[in-house]
Structure 1
Amino acid sequence: MTVLAAIEGSVNTIGYGLAAIGPGIGVALVFAAYIQSSARQPESAGYNRTWLVLGFALVEALALFGLVLAFAV
C-alpha cells in the first residue's frame, strides 16, 4: 500500500512570508535610527518624527505590494 502526502495550498503564501522579512527589518531600522537620533539630539525629535512617519510608510508599502501580489497570481 502506497500513501502519498498531498501538498495543498498556494506557494504564493510562502513567497509572501519570505518577502515580509525585508519590510520587517526595514521598519526596525527606521525606528532604531529615530530613537538613536532623538537620544543624541532631543530638541530635533519633532523634526525627525516627520521622517520617521515617511520612512515607515514607504517601507510598509513594500509589504502591502507583496501581499497584493501574493493574491494576484
Structure 2
Amino acid sequence: MDAAAAKYIGAGLATLGMIGAGIGVGTIFGNFLSGALRNPSAAASQIGNLFVGAALAEALGILAFVLGFLIFSAQV
C-alpha cells in the first residue's frame, strides 16, 4: 500500500469519531428527556450534568476531527 493512500485511510478513520460524538450527544439528551418526563422535579438538578456530558462528548468529536486533519496534512 502506498503511504499516501494509508494517510487518506487513517484520516478518514480518525474523522469517524465525529459520528460517535453525534451518537453520544443524542443518547445523552434522549436519556435526559426520558428521565425528565418520568420525574420532572429532579430534572432541574440534573441540567448541569447534562451539559457537562454533552460538552465532553463534543470535545472528543472535535479532537477526532483535529487528529484526522493533522494526519491528512502530514508530510509523507
Aligned length: 64
SS in 2 for 1:32: helix
CA distance in 1, matches of 2:26, 2:69: 26
User: Which residue identity does 1:61 align to in structure 2?
Assistant: A
Among 39, 42, 64, the residue aligned to 1:44: 42
CA distance in 2, matches of 1:25, 1:67: 15
Q: Which has the higher contact order (CA 8 A, sep 6+)?
A: 2
2:61 is matched with which residue?
A: 63
1:29 is matched with which residue?
A: 27
CA distance in 2, matches of 1:48, 1:37: 10
**TM-score, normalised relative to structure 1:** 0.76
Report runs of 4+ in structure 1 exceeding 2 Å deviation: none
**Per-residue deviation at 1:41?**
0.6
Identity of aligned residues (%): 33
**TM-score, normalised relative to structure 2:** 0.73
Which one has a larger percent helix, Structure 1 or Structure 2? 2
**Per-residue deviation at 1:30?**
0.2
